[in-house]
Amino acid sequence: MNTLPRPMAERSALFLDFDGTLADLAQRPDAVLIPPALVLLLHGLHQRLDGALALVTGRAREDLEPMLASPWPWPAAFEHGAVRLSVHGGLTAARPDGLTRAIDAADDLVARHSGLVLERKQTSMSLHFRLAPALEALCVDTLARAIADDPGLQLLHGKAVVEVKSNRVSKGLAIEAFMQEAPFAGRVPLFAGDDVTDESGFDVVQRLGGSGIKVGEGPSRARHRCPSPEALRAWLADAFFVNTTTAP
């Protein structure tokens, strides 16, 4: 599980998570630092793969676009796949019923406890407790109760965050949808991610004959592992022969 796969650029389709995968995690989602040359790396990978690169992230497009590129230049699945931007620019989104109850419950917690950060998205929400780790159980229990009567919602417990999203969307389903479209169709998929929300993506790419890459520590069904975002960026540049010192 420690050996990274050998990509074949002419046949690869590359899917990448953002937080904890391309960029290091931060105390708050708005405090993430964009590594030097990351945008150049993404542009280079996009060109090298003839467009078969997509970001697959829990972030909202509105959060990432100011940090990485505006207007947004790559295919992507945002909010765990609930918002998907195809290579042709088509945007699909699905807001689940009942999400407002979860947001209201999280709002109440944020108002009563310092250190909690609520991230509102178009189709989901994330409650971050990295600055208040002692409140982890309270955050999980509160949101679990808020959605207990809604079978259409799912609770995800990640790295210092608890999230609520539709149970009818996932990163894996988003990757499957991309793999049915040009330029991804017919290629061998690679997906790199770091958290529990990425496991469905690992399952899909490995079922399709590709490779999952777990970034960092922790159990995973991915067949490969990379120690850090910095190491993953270096591997991507070397493996796909991307020059990150010149503009695309």
Active site positions, annotated: 17
Read off the amino acid at residue 225. R
Q: Is 238 helix (H, G, I), strand (E, B) or coil?
A: helix
Quick check: 58 and 83 in contact, CB under 8 A? Answer: no
Beta-carbon contacts of residue 26 (< 8 Å; ≥ 6 apart): 32, 33
Question: Which residues does 227 contact at the CB level (< 8 Å), separation at least 6?
Answer: 215, 216
Q: Specify the length of the chain in residues.
A: 248
Query: Which residues, including other chains, have CB under 8 Å from residue 29's CB and lie 6 or more apart?
Result: 19, 59, 63, 117, 119, 126, 128
Q: Which of 201, 248, 238, 227 is nearest to 1 (CA)?
A: 227
